[in-house]
Amino acid sequence: MGKCVLISLVVAILLIGMVVTSNAQQNTDVWIPAIASFCIPGFGQLLNDEMSKAAFHFGVDVALWVGGLYLASLLSDPGFYGYSLIGLAHLAWSLYSAYDAYTVAKERGFSIGLIQEGIALSYQF
């Protein structure tokens, strides 16, 4: 339980650091793809309209989980550390996926808003 809290604290510090370093005048909607991609790698890329990159990011995440669990099952006694490495690999990939989604959204001027017909995604090139 203590390690989970420590990992959550590190993630929160990294996200806060990214917020502090960004300009206050920038569009705050660019965080939506970053957070989406942190929760489910590839979802932020999907919001950024990068379908092939979204499939790749999601596929790598699934491969990390399935491959990691398969390798852990081959070990006679994977213990806590075997499964922790899988979680750390997933965390690292989620952070990279979130960073990628954030930078692309920032470059493209991503914004999201409500219109009469529903939700609208907007990109400024």
pLDDT per residue of the chain (125 residues) written in tens, 0 to 9: 556 556 666 666 666 665 555 544 456 778 889 999 999 999 999 988 899 999 999 999 999 999 888 887 787 676 666 677 888 899 999 999 999 999 998 888 877 765 666 666 665 54
Cβ-contact 110, 123 below 8 angstroms:
yes
Which two structure tokens, joined as six digits, stand for 56?
Answer: 């790749």
CA distance 73 to 67: 10
Q: What is the C-alpha separation between 83 and 91, in angstroms, rounded?
A: 12
pLDDT at site 25? 43
| Residue 115, strand partner residues | 118
- Helix, strand, or coil (residue 114): strand
